[in-house]
Amino acid sequence: MRLGYGGGALADYPWHLDGSKPWDYEQEKRAIHCLSSLSNLGIDFIDTAHRYGNGVSETVIGNFLNSSGYQGKILTKFEISDFNIIYFINH
């Protein structure tokens, strides 16, 4: 059985989208501890997106991956509006 975790809460979503609540090291430590605990419980995929905290969720998950040896899957996504489409057409 596959068990997953939605990473939006890692960024204290949606507070960081408008910059009203700055991210700090203690929050990141708690988020990485959460991911480690979930991994130990058998979570084998983590969902994230740039929109979750304007990249905070993906950054925290990346830091977790660098420090943990996690072997599960990572699911991320983006919206076309996140990128400058003209750049892709012209290059």
Write down the pLDDT at residue 36: 93
Yes or no: say if 49 and 60 are a contact pair by the CB < 8 Å rule: no
CA 54/CA 47 separation, integer angstroms: 15
Decide which of 90 and 23 is more confident: 23
Please give the residue that has the higher pLDDT: either 49 or 12. Answer: 49
pTM score of the predicted model: 0.71
More confident residue, 20 or 78: 78
Nearest to 35 by CA among 54, 51, 58: 58
pLDDT tens for residues 75-91?
888 776 655 555 545 44
DSSP 82: G
The span from the CA of 43 to the CA of 33, in Å, is 14
